[in-house]
Structure formats: structure tokens, C-alpha cells
Amino acid sequence: MKKRVILIEPSFYGVSFVRAARELGCEVICVVSDQKDPQKFGYEGEYDQLLIADIRDSDSVLKAIQNSKYKRFDAIIPATDYATAVTAKVAEKLNMFGNSYFATKCARNKDLARIQYAKKGVPSAKFAVAKTIDEALEASKKIGFPLILKPTNTASSIDVFYVSDEQQLRERFLQISQLKQSYMHFKVREEYILEEFMSGPEFSVELFLSNNEIAFVEVTEKHTTKPPYFVELMHVFPTTVDVAYKKEIINTAYCAVRALGFHNGPTHAEVKLTDAGARVVEVNGRPGGDNITSDLIKDAYGIDIFKKTVELYLNKTVTIKPTRHGAAAISFLFANSKGSFESVQGLDNIKTTQGFRRLEMEVSPGDKVVPPTNSDDRIGYYILSGSNANKLKETIEDLNLKVHVIVKSDSRV
């Protein structure tokens, strides 16, 4: 009998769960907020059934499942970051395998996570939560400038601000207070987190747990824009950092993930290597996005984390072993000025480079573009793979000197 897998709102990285479950021979049921979502996110025709629910509401998701024609299913898996906590709550009500609602809620709410890190002694940042500008100003006296101001429960670096003084804090707090909804109409909490600015290179740890044990772990090197924004420009997998630092980064990530109460499946932890050592930025209860899991891990190590996740949820245990030990990297393309996108010069140089995997453009001529302030400002990306991560970095740096985004200035933008 076919295994039946329920996926909650496949989107962005989560579309890979649809394909992974299908390739494993499963019957795939998708719970979505809109029947147009499969077409919107690019998996139309790759599922067996759609169930419509408000994926922000666990009761609505539970009702959709219970009122469906399906009386048996074998796994329920969150397929978007925003639905991890909702999925966990539904799974708990149905006594299904998965991570706890507490763990996923902490991962979705940065202030709750910071509280857990402090309780468990995980190296982190000084922080405070503020509902008003007066509370924020008071908190800034304890944290000190510069600091980071950001929403407690969004993603993709939306309204993440580097704040250098009191006047800027007033301006940024007013701006952040206007953000009421995030992706998929999830409500943005009206509490905002102020964090100590941690300087140093940033990494993400792709960590997969099976019954509390590490089934797979590797470190991705991240290159970002300089303050006041921290938009990711390039990911290199695996990192080229010294092995001693790598062990410290991994240990910090593992302690952070366990501090939140994660027991099973993929997590994506962000860590900074500061002068005081490795310190956790945040933990996400999902596979790494930005094509880290869908492309870089597969190209470099031959591992399909999405398939392994489905297998884990079906079998309650999993073994993960690389079939090769290479490297892969992704470089994102951005506009350098505000205006209307026209073209990109130098793409042929990318396509003819040894190790070229693929190139994707996310804008069309005439689309409005701006210099990067968050991940949504990307206009495209390309992926390379090879045997050595350092060589890939050098290749990308050379290629980016030959790539030019052409933008037509438009005063009406």
C-alpha cells in the first residue's frame, strides 16, 4: 500500500518536498490556503489531492484533514517555514510524528528563542523586546549602539535594521511598526526585538537530527552586504573556514537547536564567529533555503535532504551518508541602482564556466528593481559546483566582475 504524506503549504524550498515524496512513491496530499498555490509555486500536476484551509490556523488545517475522504495517512510535514508551528500543533493533536509545538514556536519567534538560549547557556546576543519607541529607547541604553532592530516573527531579512544611534532608532522603529503582515498573510507581532550587534563572518549550519542524534551536519559559508543591511550575496558549501572554528560553529548550532527542543529532522541554524567565539543568530526548524538544500548539498555531497526528511517521518529513523565530497556555491544577482531592469551583460561567461549548474532570472525587462535591502530584491542567481570550495569562491569573484546588471533610471520608481 502506498504511503500517504500530507504536506502543509508547499512553497519556495518546500516544493522540493512534493517532488521528493512523489519520487519515493508516496501519495501526496497538499493542504494549501489557495487552490492556485500549486501553479503559483510551480508544482501543478505533481500532487494527488489538494485540501483547502487557513494554514495560519491549526484548527482549520485539522478540520480540512479530518473532513477529507482520507481516513489514513502516514506523515504530516511542514513545507514552508511559516507553517512549522501550525503543523506541529496539528501533528500533536493527531499523535503524529514530528517536532514539538514548543520547539517550532520558539524557532518562529526570535525573542522566545533568545530566552531559551539564555536558559540553556547557549552563546547568543544581548537582547530586549519592545512594543513602543520608549521601551526601545530604554532597551538601547542596556544593549548599546550599534544594535539590530527586527521583527520577532518574519523571515528573509525583511525590516532587519542596523541602528547606529538614538535618532536612527526612532526612525527605524516608526518604519518597522508599519509592517503588519508577512508572507501568506501571517500577522507580524507588534513586539520587536533589539539585539546586540555581533560582528564577524556568518555561517549557517545544516543540521539533521534523528532521535536527538546528529544524522548529518555541515557548514555553509555566507557572504553578505555590509551594514546597514545584511543581504546574502553568496553561499559556499561546505565552508572553507579552519576545522577548529568549524567544530565550534557546529557545536554552538547543535546546542541552540537542542535548547529549543528539536529532536528530529532538518534545521538551519545561523551562527556568527565573533571575537568572543561562535554565537547563535537564530535557528529555523526547516531545511536551508536559498537553494542550499535543494542544490548545494545535492551537488556537493549527493544527499537529498528532502527525501531523507520524508523517510524520517515515515520510518521514525534515517541514515544519511554522502556519496561524494565536492563543493557547490550560489551567487545572487542584484541591481546597483534604482530603476527599470533592462538586461544582464556577461551571462555567457557564467554559462560557459566549468562546473556551471544553472542560472535563473527572477525579473523581466521593465520590472522595477532596487539595490538590495532584503532577499526579495534579488534579480537572479547562478550555481556552480566543483571539487574545491576555495576555487569556487575565486571563480565566482572573477565572474561577478564580468557581470553587469543594466538598469534604466526612472524618477517615477
Q: What is the pLDDT of residues 127-164, one digit of tens each?
A: 999 999 999 999 999 999 999 999 999 876 678 899 99
Specify whether the CB–CB gap between 160 and 230 falls below 8 A.
Answer: yes
State the pLDDT at residue 182.
79
Domain regions of the chain by residue span: 4-96, 126-196, 202-315, 327-408
**256-315 pLDDT tens trace:** 999 999 999 999 999 999 999 999 999 999 999 999 999 999 999 999 999 999 999 999
CA–CA gap between residue 224 and residue 218 (Å, rounded) = 19
pLDDT tens for 205-251 read 999 999 999 999 999 999 999 888 889 999 999 999 998 999 999 99
DSSP code of 95? T
CA distances from 360 to 117, 164, 169, 223, 377 (A): 38, 36, 37, 19, 14
Look up residue 245 and give its amino acid.
Answer: Y
CATH code at 327-408: 3.30.470.20
Spatial distance between the Cα atoms of 117 and 197, rounded to a whole number of angstroms: 17
End-to-end CA, the chain = 56
Strand partners, 28: 5
Percent of the chain with pLDDT over 70: 99
User: What amino acid is encoded at 121 in this protein?
Assistant: G
Helices 84-93, 58-66: axis angle to 10 degrees equals 50
- The number of beta carbons lying within 10 Å of the beta carbon of residue 342 is 14
- For the CA atoms of 260, 266, 267, 272, the dihedral, rounded to the nearest 10 degrees, stands at 130
pLDDT at 330 over 50: yes
Evaluate the omega torsion of the peptide bond into residue 238 and state whether it is cis, within 30 degrees of 0. Answer: yes
The whole-angstrom separation of Cα 14 and Cα 79 is 4
Domain at 126-196, CATH class: alpha beta
- DSSP string across 185-223: GPBPPS-EEEEE---S-EEEEEEEEETTEEEEEEEEEEE
Residue type at 41? F
pLDDT at 413 over 50: no
Report cis status (omega within 30 of 0) of the bond before 228: yes
In degrees, rounded to 5, the angle at the alpha carbon of residue 224 between the alpha carbons of residues 132 and 110 is 35
Per-residue pLDDT tens digits for 397-410:
999 999 999 999 87
Q: 126-196 with 202-315: one CATH topology?
A: no
Using a CB cutoff of 8 Å and minimum separation of 24, what contacts does 393-397 make? 393/234, 393/236, 393/240, 393/329, 395/353, 395/355, 396/234, 396/329, 396/331
Beta bridge partners of 147: 163, 196
Given a cut of 70, is residue 48 above it in pLDDT? yes
Can you name the CATH fold of 202-315?
Answer: D-amino Acid Aminotransferase; Chain A, domain 1 (3.30.470)
pTM: 0.94
Say whether 37 sits in a helix, a strand or coil. Answer: helix
CATH of domain 4-96: 3.40.50.20
